[in-house]
Structure 1
Amino acid sequence: MNLLENKKIAIVGGGPGGLTLARLLQMNGADVKVYERDAHRHARTQGATLDLHEESGLNALNKAGLLDAFWENYRPGADKLRIVDKNAAIAYDDSADKENEPVRPEIDRGPLQNILLDSLKPNTVIWDSQLLSLTKKDNVWKLDFKNDTSAMADLVIAADGANSKIRPYITPIKPFFTGITIVEGAVYNSEIKSPAVHKLLNGGKIFAMDDEKTLIVSSKGDGSLVFYTGNKTYENWARDCGIDFSDKTQVLAWFKSEFVGWNNIWDELFENASSDFIPRPQYCMPFDQTWKTLPNLTILGDAAHLMPPYAGEGVNMAMLDALELSQCLLSSDFPDLHSAIASYEKLMLVRSSETAKKTLESTEALHTTSAIEWLISVIS
């Protein structure tokens, strides 16, 4: 029994989770459209590199027939890690151990997006489609978009990220603030613009930790780097602090006052940032969340189980969601879509709860006075 026969499927959100699901369903003949709010595929600067895990992200790409494309585009050596203190003194350096094929290989977000987009049939992704509302009539969903267009679908899947517009149609449960706020920045042409950090980065990653604060720096294949401060704040700090995050002078002044005593090497990141800084309060979904499964509406990725980035699980969880949801929807073991979705959601909520707990433990440990010792003990 083909549960998707003669069904129109709408995936809202064109991130790795949504695109992976579209690929897996299309491979099996499903009628899928992906509605993405970005104006086009190059509309957004893609952030830091992603490390894909064998049991999740890589597993999904393998099932999607895209593993060869991944290995052609991944970044050898990008998983090199240096752990340093606030003075940039190296406490741990694993670069010498990276001769063999990596366990958790890294790929830039842009190339991963391109691999997934190029695997889809033409016009699968409908760009410039920011969802405004969902309306149900006779068991069919009407999706209305900001650009005054609309679409109809028999099955809708929310893959629209942390601020999901669809999640409230499924559950009223909201995420809680974790106590940490990230400030994100980027430096283009880092070898010239921030030479000291570029040299320390060595084509990989830096975890700088001290004074219950973090500064994480990642290299990218285009010669740029991205960096993320992490410190304890109250929930609305980014809104109330009065900092103009488009003003490098103001953000540097904040960094020097908040990260007092940190070596001047880090200043070059803020002095040479290539675009506006982005403050990101960190949220996490409750560990015990559950809801009543709906017959033709479900959810995956950050929209379902938002958590901080301090365990590298976000993209991997989203891609594993896509794989497991596709397997349920394509299975002949279920009498109807409702049963297939219920099976997926039950497993997804248990799995994501366990991962969220570990991620919160990691988030807290990285923002303690013994963060360096803790992280070395975990990865050694």
Structure 2
Amino acid sequence: MSTIKNKKIAIVGGGPGGLTLARILQMKDADVKVYERDPGKDARAQGATLDLHYDSGLRALREAGLMDAFKANYRPGADRLSIVDKHANVLMEDDEKETGAQERFRPEIDRGPLKKILLDSLHPDTVIWNSHFTSLTRVDDACLLTFQDGSTAIADIVIAADGANSKIRPYITPIKPFYSGITIVEGAVYNSVVASPNIHRLLKNGKLFVMGDDKTLIVSSKGDGSLVFYTGCKTEESWSRDCGINFSDKAAVFNWFKSTFTDWNNIWDELFENASSHFIPRPQFCMPLDQTWNALPDLTMLGDAAHLMPPYAGEGVNMAMLDALELGLCLTDDGFPDTHTAIAAYEQQMRTRASATAAMTLESTAALHSSDAIPFLMQIVS
């Protein structure tokens, strides 16, 4: 670990990517802190169930020595995927991924348990909570991080793991994402067996991909008995701001759904009628596939901060965790003469990999919101 010996490393963002990197670095005795804006580990509800892939998310957990903890916390059977049309006809069920080839094994785990596994693997006090990053300045040969509450931290290397709206990325490159053409509206239903029994039966503790009329509705079960769902529609980039819908008003969102998803089976109404009152509109953006920048000796990034893309290939968390593994390996590789060289090597391979994944993701995003959506997905999962 010659390149980072005696260096303080700051990771901004305590999601799966940032926490995985902290674990990889601490395994090599690096001096690392994670600065997370949430006030504590239980500050907010965690989102959808994640399916981890053999050669990315699961590889990172294997090399981090956390597979036993993962196997104790993942949800067997939750990778069941049902392809459904808008009339609620189940066209295909895929529930063989856990029993087939190892490379096809894509087990599901809720974000909460995954976060706990990663947090529990770190040294005490690694994560500094309530650290909402606001600015970075260079002081001599170090970086001074300033947070919203006025506190500061000094680090020799800073890694942006702060997601889609990264505040550190602009210190690395001015390149901005472009709009993908799709906006998601996210909602959640608690205690789905009681609140939405018909959807609950259809889910079978797995995931539904419902498609029709160039639109999608994805529903995922969670281990706590709740479900999360996401509509996907082609809209203008500014739609969520200009549409006039109050997304905290359940009735208003339900009216929008009924007028937009016309002729869809009434079973889907259960989701909107019984959702928690707060919906979240999420315009989907993607970084340019040919993005590049000059490597810096003390700043880099991973996950959505580096290569934001829509979720329609299930690669987001897997990419972030693989980034973390590869960056950690580069920074602790004695073969690199300095951190600048190590970061440059990591960024080159990360961009190449992310570009290919983003191209596949954009193709999938377009196909799932087209008239060929159902045959496209059936071909992929068959």
Identify the TM-score tier after normalising by the shorter chain: over 0.9
Quote the Cα distance in structure 2 between the aligned partners of 1:98 and 1:70: 14
Distance 1:95 1:348, change over 3 A: closer
Aligned residues: 380
Please give the per-residue CA displacement for 1:58-85, whole angstroms capped at 9, x wherever unaligned: 0000111001100100000000011011
Comparing 100-109 and 191-200, the one that deviates more: 100-109
Q: 2:315 aligns with which of 304, 313, 316?
A: 313
The yes-or-no answer on 1:241 pairing with 2:243 is yes
- Find the counterpart in structure 1 of residue 13 from structure 2: 13
Quote the Cα distance in structure 2 between the aligned partners of 1:143 and 1:335: 26
- Report the alpha carbon displacement of residue 95 of structure 1 after superposing the two structures with TM: 3.5
- Find the counterpart in structure 1 of residue 67 from structure 2: 67
> AA paired with 1:50?
L
1:12-31 to 2 correspondence within 5 Å? 12-31=12-31
**SS of equivalent to 2:144:** strand
The yes-or-no answer on 1:49 pairing with 2:45 is no
**SS of equivalent to 2:252:** helix
- Find the counterpart in structure 2 of residue 193 from structure 1: 195
Quote the Cα distance in structure 1 between the aligned partners of 2:257 and 2:210: 14
Structure 2 residue ranges without an equivalent (≥5) = none
> AA paired with 1:192?
V
**SS of equivalent to 2:259:** helix
- Find the counterpart in structure 1 of residue 132 from structure 2: 130
Quote the Cα distance in structure 1 between the aligned partners of 2:141 and 2:170: 18
> AA paired with 2:144?
K
The yes-or-no answer on 1:167 pairing with 2:166 is no
Q: 2:180 aligns with which of 178, 181, 199?
A: 178
Please give the per-residue CA displacement for 1:266-302, whole angstroms capped at 9, x wherever unaligned: 0110011124100000000000000010111000000
The yes-or-no answer on 1:206 pairing with 2:213 is no
Quote the Cα distance in structure 1 between the aligned partners of 2:311 and 2:267: 24
- Report the alpha carbon displacement of residue 96 of structure 1 after superposing the two structures with TM: 6.7
Conserved in 2, the CA contact under 8 Å of 1:179 and 1:233?
A: yes
> AA paired with 2:47?
G
The yes-or-no answer on 1:148 pairing with 2:155 is no
**SS of equivalent to 1:3:** helix
Conserved in 1, the CA contact under 8 Å of 2:249 and 2:277?
A: no
Please give the per-residue CA displacement for 1:217-253, whole angstroms capped at 9, x wherever unaligned: 0000000000000000000100111100011100000
Please give the per-residue CA displacement for 1:112-150, whole angstroms capped at 9, x wherever unaligned: 000000000111000000000000121200000001100
Conserved in 1, the CA contact under 8 Å of 2:98 and 2:106?
A: no
Distance 1:97 1:103, change over 3 A: closer
- Find the counterpart in structure 1 of residue 328 from structure 2: 326
Conserved in 2, the CA contact under 8 Å of 1:181 and 1:232?
A: yes
- Find the counterpart in structure 2 of residue 258 from structure 1: 260
Distance 1:296 1:320, change over 3 A: same
The yes-or-no answer on 1:39 pairing with 2:39 is yes
Quote the Cα distance in structure 2 between the aligned partners of 1:99 and 1:300: 32
Quote the Cα distance in structure 1 between the aligned partners of 2:94 and 2:59: 25
**SS of equivalent to 2:351:** helix
**SS of equivalent to 2:72:** helix
Quote the Cα distance in structure 1 between the aligned partners of 2:281 and 2:148: 26
Structure 1 residue ranges without an equivalent (≥5) = none
- Find the counterpart in structure 1 of residue 225 from structure 2: 223
**SS of equivalent to 1:73:** coil
**SS of equivalent to 1:218:** strand
**SS of equivalent to 1:129:** coil
**SS of equivalent to 2:18:** helix
**SS of equivalent to 2:294:** coil
Conserved in 2, the CA contact under 8 Å of 1:179 and 1:232?
A: yes
- Find the counterpart in structure 2 of residue 351 from structure 1: 353
Quote the Cα distance in structure 2 between the aligned partners of 1:150 and 1:136: 12
Quote the Cα distance in structure 2 between the aligned partners of 1:132 and 1:75: 37
Distance 1:98 1:346, change over 3 A: closer
Distance 1:119 1:253, change over 3 A: same
The yes-or-no answer on 1:284 pairing with 2:286 is yes
- Report the alpha carbon displacement of residue 334 of structure 1 after superposing the two structures with TM: 0.9
Conserved in 2, the CA contact under 8 Å of 1:37 and 1:130?
A: yes
The yes-or-no answer on 1:85 pairing with 2:104 is no
Comparing 88-97 and 298-307, the one that deviates more: 88-97
Instruction: Report the RMSD for the aligned CA atoms in angstroms.
Output: 1.1
Conserved in 2, the CA contact under 8 Å of 1:80 and 1:98?
A: no
- Report the alpha carbon displacement of residue 202 of structure 1 after superposing the two structures with TM: 0.7
**SS of equivalent to 2:2:** coil
Distance 1:53 1:97, change over 3 A: closer
Q: 1:371 aligns with which of 365, 370, 373?
A: 373
Distance 1:97 1:326, change over 3 A: closer
Conserved in 1, the CA contact under 8 Å of 2:79 and 2:97?
A: no
Quote the Cα distance in structure 2 between the aligned partners of 1:96 and 1:36: 38
Conserved in 2, the CA contact under 8 Å of 1:287 and 1:353?
A: yes
> AA paired with 1:365?
A
